[in-house]
């Protein structure tokens, strides 16, 4: 009778004590394919669904990573939809209106494979938005439908004088930026820092549009010094 020897190769390694340590095959994890998210203008309903592939396959369970948060007024569902209505006055101290966060997608394996990705959402606002250095701001955007005119208040909270510029855009009822609407408004003169007496620390800036506005939903997208 012949003896058949069956040899099974295992991914193992011997420790100094003679024990066997197992090295399991690395678990495939989901890859989150959403690379960017559109603006979420304040006061307009927002809905975007995240996407992922790979790992153990769909359905994926979505969540925010520990320590992450969405703009006020928005939530992430377990099925991957970011929805809600951004707060009328988001946190003005958030850098230039951009909220950064990390999402996770867990697959159906046991235990699940978990993929993660860092994303961000810009929240255009009619309220206050600072520049990236928190030196100047634009605030209180109003739109006069009769005059077809946008007015903004500019402010300086820094230590030197600045001319301030804000970029504004017009949004439709679904929160999508209307093509060709983006434009800039600049302070009429330099704004003095608060410590300087005799100078203006706040000024109003106006822009009369050359063509009728598509909607009344104008928002500040960014602020910078010139």
**pLDDT digits over 17-71, tens only?**
556 555 455 579 999 999 999 999 999 999 999 999 999 999 999 999 999 999 9
| Among 170, 167, 171, residue whose Cα is nearest residue 184 | 167
CATH of the domain spanning 30-122, picked from 1.20.1420.30, 2.40.40.20, 3.90.1300.10, 2.60.40.60: 2.60.40.60
* Sign, CA torsion 125/131/135/141: negative
On whether the 129-225 domain is CATH 1.10.10, my answer is no
Region at 214 (left for phi over 0; alpha for psi -120 to 50; beta for the rest):
alpha
Q: What is the strand order of the sheet 129-130 is part of?
A: 129-130, 136-144, 149-156, 202-208
**pLDDT tens digit sequence for 67-122:** 999 999 999 999 999 999 998 665 666 667 899 999 999 999 999 999 999 999 99
- Phi, psi values for residue 116, rounded to 5°: -145, 160
Common-topology check for domains 30-122 and 129-225? yes
Inter-residue long-range contacts of 94-98, CB under 8 Å, 24+ positions, other chains counted: 94/123, 95/130, 95/132, 95/134, 96/122, 96/129, 96/130, 96/131, 96/132, 96/222, 96/223, 97/122, 97/123, 97/124, 97/125, 97/129, 97/220, 97/221, 97/222, 98/122, 98/123
Q: Where are the domains of the chain?
A: 30-122, 129-225
Structure confidence at residue 10 (pLDDT): 39
């Amino acid at each position: 009778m012949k003896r058949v020897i069956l040899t099974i190769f295992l991914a193992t390694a011997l420790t100094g004590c003679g024990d066997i340590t197992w090295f399991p095959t690395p678990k495939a994890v989901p890859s989150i394919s959403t690379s960017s998210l559109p603006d979420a203008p304040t006061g307009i309903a927002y809905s975007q669904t995240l996407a992922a592939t790979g790992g153990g396959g769909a359905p994926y369970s979505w969540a925010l990573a520990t320590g992450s948060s969405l703009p006020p007024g928005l939530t992430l569902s377990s099925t991957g939809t970011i929805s809600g209505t951004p707060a009328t006055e988001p946190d003005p101290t958030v850098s230039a209106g951009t909220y950064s966060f990390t999402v996770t997608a867990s697959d159906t394996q046991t235990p699940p494979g978990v993929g993660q990705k860092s994303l961000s959402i810009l929240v255009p606002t009619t309220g206050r938005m600072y520049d990236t250095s928190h030196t100047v701001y634009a605030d209180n955007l109003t739109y006069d439908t009769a005059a077809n005119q946008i007015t903004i208040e500019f402010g300086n909270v820094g230590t030197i004088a600045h001319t301030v510029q804000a970029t504004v855009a017009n949004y439709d009822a679904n929160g999508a930026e209307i093509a060709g609407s983006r434009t800039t408004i600049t302070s009429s003169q330099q704004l003095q820092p608060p410590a300087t007496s005799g100078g203006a620390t706040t000024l109003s800036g106006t822009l009369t549009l050359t063509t009728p506005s598509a909607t009344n939903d104008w928002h500040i997208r960014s602020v910078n010094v010139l």
